[in-house]
């Protein structure tokens, strides 16, 4: 098969790490450049011993340099912090490369909203217009035609997929939605920080950033487009002592006389042609391990008859579906490959 050469800018974080795992087994992409300022000069297997004996373990990490990336890659994944991605994405686009940006820099369509939540001006508003929001279940066609994809956040991926059918069909009121979300600790990144130490996270649990998490406007933006009117919701994240996973328990006020069975049927139909979204049978509830390391979004529905509330649970693996796997899915579409190419992981339990 004709292999597509891809680059990875920023390999030391968990999303970079996960990209090396996924790309090592990709049948149609070859990782040709991996960059990190701090680790340049080392073979990848030295920082990631799990790659010893595998092809990509021998790749020598380089300094990030747009010209070098342009010379060796057709498409580049940006796995660097928000703010930093913006300039690099522009530089790479200027050189004609396709870019999948895993940061938040191109997700919010309105630069004013970006400024309000990220406290800084968006410096690449030209490219912002070009960027496509990379949620394949909503935008597969646009992604396929795009050269700059804004890879969705982990919480938004689970939340939007979980809520979209309910809002599209008007099963719930558009106001009063509450998302109680729980994230595995890899979501906090791989930077050295006391708050992410094993002894600060294990055998405990806590909420964080209540009412002000930056994924809120991203969820609202996309759901407003789905619903056809402005959605304002309450999004509240918690930190789980697990490695991977987003567990979004979503509460909406019922706005229909449809039975739970009918709502379930509508969800099943909505995702019938989307293999990576699995609607669980009624009565089953999702477990994070069933999506671990995969592209699956598992969704369950329950109806609290006593309070007329529809409960939607939507879960993903934050690193694979919520970041690097979805980035590869987008790259697949941008490259004319099947969405699922290199992404057919079978969940591992336990």
Active-site positions read 154
Part in contact with a second copy (CB under 8 A); list of ranges 104-112, 132-140, 148-156, 184-192: 184-192
Residues near a second copy (CB under 8 A), total: 85
For a second copy, give the closer residue by CB, 67 or 349: 349
The residues pairing with 33 across neighbouring beta strands, listed in sequence order, are 7
Q: Is 337 exposed, middle or buried (0-12, 13-18, 19+ CB in 10 A)?
A: buried
* Other beta carbons less than 10 A from residue 124's beta carbon: 21
Q: Which of 5, 25, 109, 118 binds a second copy (CB under 8 A)?
A: 25
Q: Which of 249, 314, 324, 332 binds a second copy (CB under 8 A)?
A: 249
Site for a second copy in 156-175 (CB under 8 A): 175
- Token pair of 67 as six digits: 């010209």
Q: Which of 136, 293, 322, 325 binds a second copy (CB under 8 A)?
A: 293
Smallest distance, Å, CB 29 to a second copy? 14
Q: Is 233 in the site for a second copy (CB under 8 A)?
A: yes
Part in contact with a second copy (CB under 8 A); list of ranges 59-67, 72-80, 128-136, 181-189: 181-189
Q: Which of 96, 204, 273, 336 binds a second copy (CB under 8 A)?
A: 204
Q: Which of 30, 168, 169, 278 binds a second copy (CB under 8 A)?
A: 278
C-alpha distances in Å from residue 209, one per residue of 180, 215, 235: 12, 11, 9
Site for a second copy in 107-146 (CB under 8 A): none
Q: Is 309 in the site for a second copy (CB under 8 A)?
A: yes
Q: Which residues contact 273 (CB under 8 A, 6 or more apart)?
A: none
Q: Which residues contact 206 (CB under 8 A, 6 or more apart)?
A: 238, 239
Site for a second copy in 60-79 (CB under 8 A): none
Part in contact with a second copy (CB under 8 A); list of ranges 151-159, 160-168, 262-270, 282-290: 282-290
For a second copy, give the closer residue by CB, 105 or 317: 317
Q: Is 251 in the site for a second copy (CB under 8 A)?
A: yes
Smallest distance, Å, CB 93 to a second copy? 30
Residue 130 CA to residue 65 CA, distance in Å, equals 23
- Token pair of 114 as six digits: 């970006």
For a second copy, give the closer residue by CB, 59 or 91: 59
Q: Is 211 in the site for a second copy (CB under 8 A)?
A: yes
Burial 254-289 (b: 16+ CB within 10 A, else e): bbeebeeeebbebbbebbeeeebbbbbeeeeebebb
Q: Is 285 in the site for a second copy (CB under 8 A)?
A: yes
* Other beta carbons less than 10 A from residue 101's beta carbon: 30
Burial 10-32 (b: 16+ CB within 10 A, else e): bbbbbbbbbbbbbbbebebbebb
């Amino acid at each position: 098969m004709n292999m597509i050469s891809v680059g990875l800018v920023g390999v030391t974080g968990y999303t970079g790490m996960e990209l090396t795992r996924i790309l090592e087994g990709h049948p149609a992409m070859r990782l040709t450049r991996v960059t990190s300022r701090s680790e340049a000069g080392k073979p990848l297997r030295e920082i990631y011993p799990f790659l010893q004996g595998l092809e990509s373990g021998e790749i020598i990490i380089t300094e990030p340099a747009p010209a070098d990336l342009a010379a060796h890659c057709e498409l580049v994944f940006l796995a660097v912090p928000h703010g930093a991605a913006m300039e690099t994405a522009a530089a790479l686009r200027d050189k004609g490369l396709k870019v999948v940006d895993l940061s938040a820099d191109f997700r919010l369509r309105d630069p004013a909203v970006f400024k309000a939540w990220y406290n800084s001006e968006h410096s690449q508003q030209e490219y912002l217009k070009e960027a496509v929001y990379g949620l394949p279940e909503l935008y597969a066609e646009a992604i396929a035609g795009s050269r700059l994809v804004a890879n969705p956040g982990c919480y938004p991926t689970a939340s939007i997929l979980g809520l979209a059918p309910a809002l599209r069909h008007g099963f719930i009121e558009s106001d009063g939605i509450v998302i109680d979300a729980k994230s595995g600790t890899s979501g906090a990144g791989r930077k050295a920080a006391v708050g992410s130490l094993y002894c600060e996270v294990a055998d405990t649990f806590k909420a964080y950033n209540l009412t002000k998490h930056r994924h809120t406007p991203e969820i609202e933006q996309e759901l407003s487009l789905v619903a056809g009117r402005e959605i304002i919701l309450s999004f509240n994240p918690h930190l789980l002592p697990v490695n991977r996973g987003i567990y979004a328990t979503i509460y909406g006020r019922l706005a229909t006389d449809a039975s739970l069975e009918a709502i379930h049927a509508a969800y099943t139909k909505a995702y019938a042609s989307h293999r990576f979204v699995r609607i669980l049978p009624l009565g089953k509830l999702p477990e994070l391990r069933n999506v671990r390391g995969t592209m699956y979004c598992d969704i369950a529905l329950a109806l609290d008859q006593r309070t007329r509330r529809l409960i939607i649970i939507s879960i993903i693996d934050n690193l694979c579906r919520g970041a690097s796997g979805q980035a590869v899915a987008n790259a697949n579409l941008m490259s004319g490959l099947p969405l699922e190419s290199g992404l057919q992981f079978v969940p591992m339990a336990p």
